[in-house]
Amino acid sequence: MTDPIGQTIANRYRIESLIGRGGMADVYRGLDTVLQRPVAIKVLSERSEDVRKRFLREARAMAMLNHRNIIGVYDAGEFDTYSYIVMEYIDGRTLGEIPQSELTMHKAVQFFIDLFDALAYAHEKQIIHRDVKPANIMVLKDGTIKIMDFGLSRRMTDLSMATQAGEIVGTIAYLAPERFLGKPADARSDLYSVGVVMYEIFTGDVPFKSSNDDLVSVIFAHANEPPAPPRSRNRNIPPVLETIILKLLEKDPDRRYQNAKDAADDLRALLAPATEKTPGRGRTTTVPGSASPAIPTPAEPLAADEAPSGVQEVLRRAFGSTQSLNQAYADVLSGMLAMRKHDYVQAAAALKSAMTIFKGRNEVEYAKTALKFALMVYQKTSEGARTQPQEIEEAISACTDALPILRWRNHSKETEDGERLLYALQRVATTLN
């Protein structure tokens, strides 16, 4: 099907004009000749089996969702070896296409309330979007928003530590830190992405970016660097709105909003009569004529000196372990960034530090980091940099330690890559001896 325009799919959907092209699919305006209504028809142009499965997953995910702020799916199937999805036709613009001059503070806040409502509904159905960004948020002429393109969505029960080895899907600028660190992604990952979109809409730019398109530095910033306070970029942002955005952008998912409903409720409070926190944790009272609204805050946790000594020790051990692992993930990213800059001294130090922390705490991450260290040594050797025999032996030892762990945990791709790397390092060792 070289040019589908003018053709009729399934004896029902006539393709009329091209709306837009994507990397793996094209979207056309069409007509449902049975119901005589306009439709959008998404036709998959990429034929690989993996992409076809993802495309089918999109249809199934969207078919489960019936919400005023989510684009509806009507039908799906195959035609002339191509897969297609028939969807609700939307006459509007993406959120990213709306000029700042057309967005009032009130209107923008309402957009995000509707977006959180839509995500809350999807999350209740155990569907997370995984690719929330301005290009996937449509704004109709009447101001209604519709979130679209659940092509990267995944049922929560299907999520694992990573989609595939080394695969990071979605758009880098909007992804949550855990997506880069191999940790489980859940509904709170969507909330982080909304936080990035809010930051961009209210300040004019995303919190983390690279002037020279260095994706590793962007990933590193998401995982390690605090965002500049939104009010430092736009003083017109209400302080409470800044607090909401920064809470959505917390690195640790446990410190973010735990569900979309709570975030929507806090935004609604911005549009409601102003409130002020009264003495006593978590209580509010209306203050007539107050200049700025304040959002009720949950009860604060006990301060360290208020906790019983036994509890203090348990908390110290628990949070100490978590902080150590977070440091290890940060070290891995530091090592990757140093490798990219060919700073092998810094790369070796960072990766060895991560290996030390992971060992005994997370075997799989230890093994993966060990292979990164071995690869770094091999890369250094391949570039002709001076490499000591001891470094090669350390790399061989790292591979030898990692492979049984990965083999036992059925990480087949990493095991194959590690075996090839081990063989290459052994050949290098032979030439140096």
Question: Which active-site residues does the annotation give?
Answer: 131
Secondary element (H or E) of residue 25: strand 25-32
Strands 73-79 and 275-277: unpaired
Task: Say if residue 333 is exposed, middle or buried (CB neighbours under 10 Å; 0-12, 13-18, 19+).
Answer: buried
Please name the amino acid found at residue 267.
Answer: L
- Angle, CA 226 vertex, CA 316 and CA 183 arms, to 5°: 60
Q: Which residue from 58, 77, 71 is spatially nearest to 19, judged by alpha carbons?
A: 71
Tokens of 405: 């762990």
Order of strands across the sheet that contains 82-88: 8-9, 13-21, 25-32, 37-44, 82-88, 73-79
What residues are paired with 276 via a beta bridge? 285
Secondary element (H or E) of residue 73: strand 73-79
Tokens of 316: 């110290």
What residues are paired with 79 via a beta bridge? 82
Strands (E) in 283-392, as ranges, are 284-286
Distance (Å, whole) CA 344 – CA 387: 10
**CA distances (Å), 198 to each of 155, 175, 184, in order?**
25, 13, 23
